[in-house]
Structure 1
Amino acid sequence: MKFVNLTRRTEIGANSYYLEIGGRHLVLDCGMHPKNAGEEALPNFKPIADRKIDAILISHAHQDHIGTLPVLMRRQPDARVFMTETTAEIGGTLLHNSVNVMTRQREEIGTTLYPLFTHRETDRASELWHWCPLHRPFSISDERASQHETGGLTFEFFDAGHVLGSAGILLRAEGRTLFYTGDVNFDNQTIMEGAIFPQEKIDILIMECTRGDHAKPATWTRAGEEQRLAEGIDRAFTRGGCVLIPVFALGKTQEVLAMFYKFGREQLLPEFPIYIGGLSSKMTAIYDRRAHISRRQLPRLRLMEEAAPFVLNGQTIRDTPARAGRIYALSSGMMTPKTLSSIFARRLLENPQHSIFFVGYADPLSPAGILRNAQPDDEIALDPDEPPQRLRCHIEQFQFSAHASRESLIEYAKKLSPKIIVLVHGDPSAVAWMHARLIVDLPGAEVIVPSPSVELEL
């Protein structure tokens, strides 16, 4: 079995991995880097340029896992593509939005490579995707396989509890088993329920490490954190300010809207106006449409009706003032320049009445990562094309991550007791902590941090 990390660095970026297993050539995920542009936004496909890929398996529809799928499909026209039905619905919408963003960036930053693919290519690509129900083994020929089929390669999707449609992937071939976690959360969120993953022993575990450098506080509870968030919002409103929450359009937006619905139902806060972005509204509509057929909490909640958010876009955001007593849950979560959260934050930074709350992961080198670690009166440049500003608004952080804690990842690895563990999807410090802990807790396992573009024999 061969493995190549196609992600360009040890990071959370254009996540993608090559596998040669059971005589088949596979790619797991095909992401776009959230910060880089042009060729650097792609996975490094050079190691597989001369190989014929049989199948591409997608874990979920976040940009860093599906964002360059049409590019790989163009380069590998015979590869079959598999994902859950929900990921297919979300992914098509997200990729069309990505075309719009790249077209705009071509003019704004002069990236002549953009757009990396077109709307027509996206439509054609999505027509070729194969949908796989959870907990059913499939073969690459797209035929349902026997649970105990021997000989050929089979794969099976398991609910990852990260965002709607997210899945871990179990592969069986040549008498060996490999499990790829994708992005996983073992704990319940406000909407999403925790992952249901395989519990049997496996040979190889490819595991995410997003929160590897963050210890879970011993006293942390979700209910306590929700109470703290409600109190923070109340303080901001009492000061005569508003609150900006940078969010990902998929996942975090819907979790935040559901929390606000709960705050009203539990009378933690009075009713207040909520604003979200255009892509966020499309993702939320999918959550609502699939509520009755998804494994989730609050199955009867329809967010667009009950939370009733106002929708902003790239045009209306420029004329939208920061009004007291309102919540602006805007993407991107990384506060990438020119996105709604970045544009709106500039109206808050120098006003001590307002607040910016962070409720999930942010790349330490992204504008959001820099801002959340800044000190009062620091100079902040959210956009290189705009002058820096003094930080005078309130910054607070809350732990509502959609990723598993490092403690729960370690426990899951110990339960599976794999012979080989491959650590991916983490910043260097996160991966290093996970590696150091696993070699102690699982001394019989080979724990690998895969160097980018280097072929490994597993």
Structure 2
Amino acid sequence: MRFRNLTRRREIGANCYLLESGKNRVVLDAGMHPKEVGFDALPDFGALPHDTADSILITHAHHDHIGALPVLMRKQPNTPVFMTEPTGEITSAMLHNSVNVMSSQREELSIAEYPLFTHRELDENRAQYIYRDLVKPFELPNGDLTATFHDAGHIMGSAGIMIRQNGSSLFYTGDVNFESQTIARAADFPTEGIDVLVVETTRGTYERPQDYTRKGEKERLAALIRDTFDANGSVLIPVFALGKTQEVMLMLHELHEEGLIPEMPLRIGGLGTKVTVLYDHYADRVRRNYPGFRLLEDVRMLVAPRRKRGPGRPQIDYQPRTIYALSSGMMTEGTTSNAFAAKFIDNPRNAVAFVGYTDPLSPGYRLRTAKAGEKIKLSPDLPAVELHARIESFDLSAHATREQIAEYVEKVKPKKLLMVHGEEPSQAWFSARFAETLNSDTEIIRPETHAAIDLW
């Protein structure tokens, strides 16, 4: 069994990995890079000849893990795609939205190759989606491999993947959270009998304060909302449409029910609403907190999104004493949160609450690290805005902390450890820690693009 990293660089984005055993080829994830455009955003599929993959396995439906799936499926036209049912249904919604975004970018940014796939193609692809339940092993075609999905605790449907072959095993974590969130329960991962561990390293540079509690972070957020309400301002919470929108909706519902925040309207975006429909559809059928709770029906603060009239996305108007949970979480150019912030952050009564990861090159990171009075340019097509709103950050990430991931690795003690999904400084922290905590029985590997790594 060999492993190849199909990402173009050692960093977060365009996740895609290839397992080769004899003539059998298995692909793990097929993401698109969030900071690149066009063909540069795709994984490097050069090591995978046309129509040679036997199976594709998907951990979860975030763009950096599924964004290139239709392109891969075009290159592998007869290959089944295995995932959990919630991941498959969300994948369809997210990729249809991706076609719309790319079609707009073709016009606005003159990207000739966009869209990289079509709505019709996505509809046809669904015939190759095969859904599998958690913790139930299944055979992969054309070989001697079996696979099992294990709940990753990241977003609805997310799973780590166990691959077994003749007594040897590989476990790929995908994105994982080892502590419960508001909806998502903590990951339920195996710890024994794992020869090769492929692990995410997203938060390797973040050191959590020793006195941290999730309850404390939620209470800090409640205090910010109360202060902003008293000032007759509004709160913008940049969120990802998938996962973070639904977590924030339920968290705000909890805070209101507990009397920690006043009655305030909650506004969410269009894609966030579409994904929330799916979260509600599976409310009784997935491993989660609040089983049966339906966000669009039971969150009393929520203002039903207005239907859009004519072309373009629906207009979200500013109102005082309102909470806006708008995507994207990193305030990427062209997204609802980016455009809304440009007419929001100059008001000293308002507040922006960051509740998740922002890439150092993203507009969200620029804003969360800016000083009061500084002029911020959120997008090339928008004028610079003087920052007067209050900016706060909260550790409510859907990714495990570096210490939690390290402790999991140290419990597993694999023969080979492959570190992926992390920037260089993040992986360097893990390497330094494991040099002290893991003995020579574990080989630590940071896979280079396309380098063939023998696993067993």
Category of TM-score, reference length = shorter chain: over 0.9
Shift of 1:420: 0.7
Change (3 A) 1:44 1:316: closer
User: What pairs with 1:145-164 in structure 2 (closer than 5 Å)?
Assistant: 152-164=144-156
Question: Is the CA contact (8 Å cut-off) linking 1:21 and 1:153 kept in structure 2?
Answer: no
Task: Tell me whether 1:310 sits opposite 2:297 in the alignment.
Answer: no
* Alignment match, 1:428: 424
* Alignment match, 2:364: 368
Of the three residues 336, 340, 343, the one matched with 1:340 is: 336
User: What pairs with 1:16-55 in structure 2 (closer than 5 Å)?
Assistant: 16-21=16-21, 23-49=23-49, 52-55=52-55
Shift of 1:311: 2.1
Give distance in 2, aligned partners of 1:449 and 1:379. Answer: 39
SS of 1:158's partner is strand
Question: Is the CA contact (8 Å cut-off) linking 1:13 and 1:33 kept in structure 2?
Answer: yes
Shift of 1:321: 3.3
* Alignment match, 2:84: 84
Give distance in 2, aligned partners of 1:319 and 1:118. Answer: 26
* Alignment match, 1:411: 407
Of the three residues 442, 452, 455, the one matched with 2:452 is: 455
Change (3 A) 1:23 1:138: farther
* Alignment match, 1:216: 208
Shift of 1:405: 0.9
Letter in 1 for 2:251: M
Question: Is the CA contact (8 Å cut-off) linking 2:235 and 2:324 kept in structure 1?
Answer: yes
Shift of 1:304: 0.4
Change (3 A) 1:266 1:415: same
Per-residue deviation, residues 381-437 of structure 1 (Å, max 9, x unmatched): 111112222222111000000011111101111111101111111122111111211
Shift of 1:455: 2.3
Unaligned runs of 5+ in 2: none
* Alignment match, 1:147: none
Question: Is the CA contact (8 Å cut-off) linking 2:106 and 2:114 kept in structure 1?
Answer: yes
Give distance in 2, aligned partners of 1:353 and 1:374. Answer: 17
Give distance in 2, aligned partners of 1:316 and 1:2. Answer: 47
Give distance in 1, aligned partners of 2:270 and 2:343. Answer: 20
Shift of 1:194: 0.3
Question: Is the CA contact (8 Å cut-off) linking 1:15 and 1:43 kept in structure 2?
Answer: yes
Letter in 2 for 1:219: D
SS of 1:311's partner is coil
SS of 2:305's partner is strand
Question: Is the CA contact (8 Å cut-off) linking 1:277 and 1:312 kept in structure 2?
Answer: no
Give distance in 2, aligned partners of 1:166 and 1:456. Answer: 26
Q: Percent identity?
A: 50
Per-residue deviation, residues 183-238 of structure 1 (Å, max 9, x unmatched): 00010000110010112131100000111111122111111111110001111111
SS of 1:205's partner is strand
* Alignment match, 1:175: 167
Give distance in 1, aligned partners of 2:238 and 2:260. Answer: 22
Give distance in 2, aligned partners of 1:68 and 1:226. Answer: 35
Change (3 A) 1:312 1:432: farther
* Alignment match, 1:350: 346
SS of 2:139's partner is coil
Shift of 1:330: 0.3
Question: Is the CA contact (8 Å cut-off) linking 1:278 and 1:313 kept in structure 2?
Answer: no
Task: Tell me whether 1:165 sits opposite 2:157 in the alignment.
Answer: yes
SS of 1:127's partner is helix
Give distance in 2, aligned partners of 1:380 and 1:63. Answer: 27
Give distance in 1, aligned partners of 2:278 and 2:270. Answer: 13
Shift of 1:74: 0.3
Per-residue deviation, residues 68-118 of structure 1 (Å, max 9, x unmatched): 101100001122210001101111111111111111110010111110000
* Alignment match, 1:72: 72
Give distance in 2, aligned partners of 1:269 and 1:310. Answer: 20
Per-residue deviation, residues 320-362 of structure 1 (Å, max 9, x unmatched): 3322110100001121111100010001121111111100111
Give distance in 2, aligned partners of 1:241 and 1:317. Answer: 25
Give distance in 2, aligned partners of 1:31 and 1:343. Answer: 25
SS of 1:395's partner is strand
* Alignment match, 1:236: 228
* Alignment match, 1:138: 138
Question: Is the CA contact (8 Å cut-off) linking 2:54 and 2:141 kept in structure 1?
Answer: no
Range that drifts further, 413-422 or 306-315? 306-315
Q: TM-score scaled to structure 2, two decimals?
A: 0.95
Range that drifts further, 107-116 or 439-448? 439-448
Letter in 2 for 1:82: F
Per-residue deviation, residues 279-319 of structure 1 (Å, max 9, x unmatched): 10011111111011111111132110122343268878775
SS of 1:422's partner is strand
* Alignment match, 1:268: 260
Letter in 1 for 2:15: N
* Alignment match, 1:146: none
SS of 1:269's partner is coil
Shift of 1:174: 3.2
Shift of 1:456: 2.2
Task: Tell me whether 1:446 sits opposite 2:443 in the alignment.
Answer: yes
Per-residue deviation, residues 367-392 of structure 1 (Å, max 9, x unmatched): 11221122222221111112222222
Question: Is the CA contact (8 Å cut-off) linking 2:51 and 2:77 kept in structure 1?
Answer: no
Per-residue deviation, residues 7-40 of structure 1 (Å, max 9, x unmatched): 1112211111111146521110001111211011
Question: Is the CA contact (8 Å cut-off) linking 1:244 and 1:355 kept in structure 2?
Answer: yes
User: What pairs with 1:93-112 in structure 2 (closer than 5 Å)?
Assistant: 93-112=93-112
Change (3 A) 1:187 1:202: same
Per-residue deviation, residues 170-190 of structure 1 (Å, max 9, x unmatched): 000132110000000010000
Give distance in 2, aligned partners of 1:358 and 1:97. Answer: 24
Letter in 2 for 1:92: S
Of the three residues 266, 272, 290, the one matched with 1:280 is: 272
Question: Is the CA contact (8 Å cut-off) linking 1:277 and 1:313 kept in structure 2?
Answer: no
Question: Is the CA contact (8 Å cut-off) linking 2:50 and 2:76 kept in structure 1?
Answer: no
